[in-house]
Structure 1
Amino acid sequence: MARPAIGAQASRLARDLPLGCSTGSARIPKLVYGTAWKKDQTADLVYLALKTGFRGVDTAAQPKHYDERGVGAGVKRAIGEGLIKREDLFIQTKFTSPGGQNHITPYDINAPLADKVHQSVQSSLENFTVEGQEPYLDSLVLHSPLETMQETVTVWKTLESYTPHKIRHLGISNTTLPIVAALVSDMTVKPAVVQNRFHNKTGYEKDLRTFCREHKIVFQSFWTVSANRHLLQSSPVREVAQKAGVGAVPAFYSLVLGLEGTTILDGTTSETHMIDDLEGIEVVGAWAEGEGADDWDFALRGFKQLIGES
């Protein structure tokens, strides 16, 4: 059974996050369905995720690791069957530089950099064109900084030309604090999202997440489970799972979301896990705002200590 979309009555923990931009009221779901490495299962899994209750989808114009056309097919199938409306979705894709591509690219590999960006954006808009509607992307993320800051700025300024109508928000992934700070300082359109790995080798991006919170930038966490099996077994996660009555993964996700200003890419291929994750963070949120408030605060403090955050 499809889970209702998270709305205004959801717990604070599960409620969609606002995104700073000129379009005003745009929001991003706390769990965004990740579509990397789904290959020929992409369309069916995206459709299943939307049917189950996901309202955000992350992909990339990078055939090496993503099937963006398949993502679009899954989205259009769900819309065509009346399961969702386009305006209720958060669709995010990426521009990937030549260094992150293989022999199949969404642009002419010999074209000037700005032209590569234009061709990539146009291919993404085509993949998400819904019949009878003007296509747009809720977010377009620069997959990683380019080799030089000048090239990064060229790509960013080219993407700015599509805002706010064709592209509602811009973001950057696999990046560093100095680069994000430079974009905030120097660019006309500020980054609305930063998508980075969440693991101990980067100190769980404590300083970058702090900067993002201060500048109202949403931090999108990925590799959240696969890189943190040790945290799944930690005392705070076990305590939340046991007392709120959920599995270890939604308990862990809830604690990551409790860091504030954070969303999570969830790429599970299991319908059961999709349901458990979506419903689990709502259950934890309701428990944390009710009878479990003290236990939640204690667990969250312990979790923050584990990842080096006071």
Structure 2
Amino acid sequence: MAQENTLTLEPSGQKMPLVGLGTWRITNDQGEEMIYKAIKNGYRLIDTALLYDNQEGVGKGIRRAIDEGIVKREDIFVTAKLWNCYHHKSHVRPQFERDLKLLGLDYIDLYHIHWPIPQKYVDPSRQYPPEWVDPDSKKLELERSPLQDLWRELESLVKDGKLRNIGISNFNVQLTLDLLTYCDIKPAVLQIELHPYLQRQQVVTWFQKQGIQVTAYSQFGPEAFDKFTAENMHLVPLLEHETIKKIADKHNKTTGQVLLRWQVQRKVAVIPKSSNDQRQKQNLDLFSWSLDDQDCKAIADMDKNIRYNELELYGIDLPLYD
């Protein structure tokens, strides 16, 4: 029996596609055509964020597909993310409204807290989109903005009908345990770095048992990063790894398809980025075939607990994962 190609989110009951299109490092100019083409090719989940500085182009691509009758708004699942300097309760709703306006949409399907890091507020007139460091001090500046207050504001957006689901990104189990003690609407999705070098199966299983679905970013490992830490720079790129190549040859698939199939087979959603027409279609072709036990064991043996998206790459001295 073929695997379902969606995940059901709690508590909304909304279906989220297991395969979406990531947009990190896509410009506004590229965004419209890339998103429009992806929707024509069958994509129904689009993942973006303020930090990517492309929401206007992404929104144009979505609206173009809707205007041409290719899809209806309810057919498309749109994910956006709240940046760190808008964690104070007084800034959450205004920033959400700015995201809506940039996307040109009436509601957002899933809104992640991008990082559990409350940065000092940066007024949009000063810098937009903001970055990791304060524009004045040129370093990471934190502020006292409780997560509980932030969460209440996100819940109010759900109750107002402007937001369908609340997500968390780069959160750990400890922080989520605390969140679950006071939230009225629990997080629907956790988005974290996951790939064969960083499998985190125990973490994935724990969140799934809480009814929180998991999305992987950087599912191809180092492909999206220009800089590496001394710990991970020596590793073979996953798309070129002999184990992955052998499995791909065995199934007559690409190495990229194997890496994506491994994720969706453990019920983890994926958001690979591609502007290439053929590769977009290949990345959707994950549900008519499966990896066998031998394949899964070989990939499991590749785990090294190595992370690529380390904050030190951005010049940030914050041991977030410890």
Identify whether the pair has TM-score above 0.5, normalized to the shorter chain: yes
Q: Give the Cα separation in 2 of the matches to 1:55 and 1:163.
A: 21
Q: 1:245 aligns with which of 227, 248, 252?
A: 252
Correspondent of 1:182 among 173, 178, 181: 178
Aligned equivalents of 1:77, 1:190: Cα separation in 2: 33
Provide the aligned length of Structure 1 versus Structure 2.
267
- Which residue is equivalent to 2:21? 33
Distance 1:239 1:38 in 2: 31
Partner residue, 2:75: 88
Distance 1:146 1:214, change over 3 A: same
SS in 1 for 2:49: coil
Post-superposition offset of 1:94: 0.9
Asked whether 1:305 is paired with 2:291, we answer no
For residue 196 of structure 1, the aligned residue among 150, 170, 192 is: 192
8 Å CA contact 2:7, 2:15 repeated in 1? yes
Q: CA deviation at 1:90?
A: 0.6
User: Secondary structure of 1:31's match?
Assistant: coil
Aligned 8 A contact 2:219 2:259 in 1: no
Give the percent of matched residue pairs that are identical in Structure 1 and Structure 2: 24
Structure with more helix by fraction: 1
Give the stretch that moved more between structures: 300-309 or 29-38: 300-309
Q: 1:275 aligns with which of 276, 281, 286?
A: 281
Q: How does 1:87-236 map to 2 (within 5 A)?
A: 87-98=74-85, 113-129=88-104, 135-147=106-118, 151-164=146-159, 165-199=161-195, 203-227=198-222, 230-234=237-241
**Alpha-carbon distance in 2 for matches of 1:200, 1:258:** 13
Letter in 2 for 1:84: V
Q: Secondary structure in 2 aligned to 1:194?
A: strand
Decide which of 263, 267, 278 is 2:269's aligned counterpart. 263
Please show how residues 10-89 of structure 1 align to structure 2 within 5 Å: 11-12=2-3, 15-21=5-11, 23-24=12-13, 26-39=14-27, 40-62=29-51, 65-89=52-76
Paired with 1:297 and 1:272, the residues of 2 have a C-alpha distance of: 29
CA deviations 1:7-60 (Å, max 9, x no partner) are xxx921x61111112x32x11111111112211211111111111111000111
Show CA shifts across 1:222-270 (max 9, x none).
111142754434465334422322111011110122222x111111121
Q: Structure 1 length normalisation: TM-score?
A: 0.78
Q: State the Cα deviation string for residues 176-202 of structure 1 (Å, max 9, x = none).
A: 22112222232111111111112577x
**Residue type of the alignment partner of 1:117:** V
Aligned residue identity for 2:89: A
Pair 150,113 (structure 1): closer, same or farther in 2 beyond 3 Å: closer
Assess if the C-alpha contact under 8 Å between 1:146 and 1:152 holds in 2: no
Which stretch of structure 1 is more off in the superposition, 186-195 or 144-153? 144-153
AA matched with 2:114: H
For residues 152-174 of structure 1, the C-alpha deviation after alignment (integer angstroms, 9 at most, x for no partner) is 22211111101152211101112
The answer to whether the Cα contact below 8 Å between 1:199 and 1:227 also exists between their aligned partners in 2 is no
Distance 1:54 1:125 in 2: 21
- TM-score (normalised: structure 2): 0.75
Amino acid at match of 1:252: L
Structure 2, unpaired ranges of 5+: 119-142, 224-235, 306-322
Unaligned runs of 5+ residues in structure 1 are 1-9, 99-106, 289-294
| Structure 1 residues 38 and 231, CA gap change in structure 2 (3 angstroms) | closer
